A = this chain, B = another copy of it.
Amino acid sequence: MASAPQANAIVSQSGGPTGVINASLVGVIEEVKKHPEIKNLYGAIHAVSGIVKENFIDLMKVSNDVLETVAASPSSALGSSRDKPDAEYCKKILDVFKKRDIRYFFYIGGNDSANTCFIINNMAQEAKYELRAFHVPKTIDNDLLVTDHCPGFGTAAKFVSCALMGDDLDNRALPGIKIDVIMGRHAGFLTAASALGKQRDDDGPHLVYMPERPVSMDKFLSDVDSVYKKLGRCVIAVSEGMSDHDHKTWAEKITETQERDSHGNVQLSGTGALADYLASQIKSKLKVKRVRADTFGYLQRSFAGLQSPVDAAEARSCGRQAVQYAMNELNGSVAMKRTASGKNYGVELFRTELKNVAEKTKSLPDEFINKDGNGITSAFVEYAMPLTGGLPKTEYLGNFTKI
């Protein structure tokens, strides 16, 4: 292995923000400072678009106090971008790297970001330009391959489980049917996390619908009816990506219906549409009066002041580790392997090839979904609970012995 070049480094953040992507950024910065091979550390603003525009800040000059606040702040402190660079775009990036003598590239993001790293790295190799390109994983969807789980998921899972814990207590206080629509178009991990905080036998969410298990509207209504008849209330968590057996998403079906029905300005493609539609279906078909629906939206990925401490620490470690790998390896993506579950929970980090992460995404494994396709298993709780850093305990007195 060639020794690490004396050169500059660049770091950036891509895709949807998370609650701990800034912890990874700070991990990269603090580790870079330990390696005299790296002269300057550029922070590219708004990801790849900031690289081609040379929209850079000097991360070596940011004080430790500010960095600690960055590490605790949600969203992407360097800004983000949804650009998916093609070959021409990547060539421009490489030109900037050459111009600025950048030979270390740290890119924090999901599988698209790993792919960008992969393309640019190949391009550099072909151009015989020495570049060390490393991907640092992040996503609230938890859908990256190879790694046991992704930084960002634990914090989002903590938000969603605390939300459902409170919402279930609210629904006990004022009973009815409550629907909560959760982020995750293709992978059901975050929707599954809605059930992590269940503490009593009759705690909600009573039904959990994940995109890995297509469900017809008839089955959905029949499930809800059955819980409501039994408990007099029902709390339901639904992935925004839920689909019917024909693999068309529920959201798509609503849009079709709505476009055929209306000819005014109101569009139903906004974020609250699925929740409202499900509520109207329950009201009209099951004749239940008190039906409410919330769509959690961006709060799930960007709520200030709420991090899973486990997730934040792992995200920071992944950032640091990417820099350490870059001293000895030419490229790669940082991944986590679980060393133990339960009380002794821990992970060790390892390097995987960029293409292993860039190619596909992961779905919720079968063993995490119940037989009926409308709930989670204890195996999922065992997997996901440690990532939240623990959840608050709650009490409800309404079931205590009557006098």
Q: Which residues of A contact B (CB under 8 A)?
A: 13, 16-17, 42-43, 45-46, 55-59, 62, 66, 69-70, 72-82, 162-163, 165-167, 169-170, 172-174, 178, 197, 254, 257-258, 260-273, 275-277, 279-281, 283-284, 292-299, 301-306, 391-398, 400-403
Contacts and interface: CB of A to CB of B under 8 A. Distances in A.
Contacts of A294: 271, 295-299
A158 to B, nearest CB: 8
A82 B263 CA distance: 38
A301 B171 CA distance: 12
Contact of A166 (B304, B391, B397, B401): B304
Contacts of A284: 265
27 contacts: A55-B402, A56-B402, A57-B398, A58-B401, A70-B395, A72-B392, A74-B169, A74-B170, A74-B394, A75-B166, A75-B169, A75-B170, A77-B397, A79-B398, A80-B174, A167-B298, A258-B266, A261-B264, A267-B280, A267-B283, A270-B276, A271-B293, A272-B275, A272-B295, A292-B298, A294-B298, A296-B299
Contacts of A395: 66, 69-70, 73, 77
A304 B263 contact: no
A217 to B, nearest CB: 11
Contacts of A173: 13, 17, 46, 75-76, 79-80
A306 B56 CA distance: 37
A401 B396 CA distance: 52
Given A73-B394, A261-B266, A392-B72, A273 B272 contact: yes
Nearest to A294: B297
A398 B258 contact: no
